[in-house]
Amino acid sequence: MFYRPRQFTTNNTLTDAQGSWTINNAGSFQGWDVLLPPNGGKHGSVWQYDKATFINITLNRDARLAVVWRADPSKVPNWLKNNWSQQGTVRINNADRPVYTKNFLAGQTVQLGSVYDPGASQAQNLYTYLVLFGEKDGTPR
């Protein structure tokens, strides 16, 4: 897992376990911090991709988090599409990717779900999502 402060920016190329990818248009998330979770290409199996909780994050201040869905947009898991607000798209590797946002309070532990709904086994690209961090008013941190 990699944390990149203020690096979600247009024309920036980032690298994770899967390889390199370019942010063609960061949109309203320009300058936000980005967390790159473990990715399917490196970890190979789906052992962790259908668990109720994939990542736990404890915040030290109020924040707005954004999840950039990089996999098939028709297969967004229920934890994300039912509990977060879709807020536009960003463009990564020349493809538009939906973004979901939600505000959280300082001290709160945020539990982010897996790529698949619990118990589901779907054949799809195992790209995990990106987690972006901004101030609670939506400005970069």
Is 141 a domain residue? Answer: no
Q: Among residues of the chain, what percentage have pLDDT more than 70? A: 84
**Contact 89/98 with Cβ under 8 angstroms?**
yes
The total number of structural domains in the chain stands at 1
- Give the residue with greater pLDDT, 122 vs 107: 107
Is 23 a domain residue? Answer: yes
3-state secondary structure of 141: coil
Domain that holds residue 64: 2-134
Which tokens is 5 given?
A: 């402060």
**Per-residue model confidence as pLDDT tens digits over 16-36:** 767 788 999 999 999 999 998
Is 139 a domain residue? Answer: no
